[in-house]
Amino acid sequence: MSGKHDKYERRRIRRLRIRKRVEGTAARPRLSVFRSARHIYAQIIDDTRGITLAAASSRDPLPPVEGKGKVGVSASVGRLLAERAREKGVTAVAFDRGGYLYHGRVKALADGARAAGLQF
């Protein structure tokens, strides 16, 4: 392709650029987002120990969804993740959007997590 990348390669490059700066510690773990065509997944990761502290996805049983479609589901996933994080004693995180634009489902997940008490 002589210097051009497809959208998956461009996302991978953006993701690596973000990961150079965003690192999860025990005091402030990383909230990582993965978005597929149908579902959204999020996990809170302590990179120093290499463990996942809490996780939630749209495949989990969710509380009633406010809003429409996948954006509403993403907000519910964010709230569910924040509740699970609080059970583990996590209150502040570093947000890793995973190379996706901070828009739509990724923004809804972040807003849902903030509404449920996570700070970032």
CA distances from 3 to 6, 8, 63, 67, 78 (A): 10, 14, 46, 41, 37
Beta-carbon count within 10 A of 75 CB: 24
Q: What confidence score (pLDDT) does residue 2 get?
A: 57
Tens-digit pLDDT profile for residues 34-85? 999 999 999 999 999 999 999 999 999 988 888 789 999 999 999 999 999 9
Phi and psi at 103, nearest 5°, equal -165, 150
pTM (2 d.p.) = 0.89
Beta-carbon count within 10 A of 83 CB: 16
Q: What confidence score (pLDDT) does residue 25 get?
A: 85
In this predicted structure, the answer to whether residue 8 has a pLDDT above a threshold of 80 is yes
Tens-digit pLDDT profile for residues 12-27? 999 999 998 998 888 8
Q: What confidence score (pLDDT) does residue 14 get?
A: 93
Higher pLDDT, 95 or 25: 95
Under CATH, what is the fold of the domain 7-115?
Nucleotidyltransferase; domain 5 (3.30.420)
Name residues whose C-beta falls within 8 Å of residue 104's C-beta, 6 or more positions apart in sequence.
71, 74
Domain ranges of the chain: 7-115
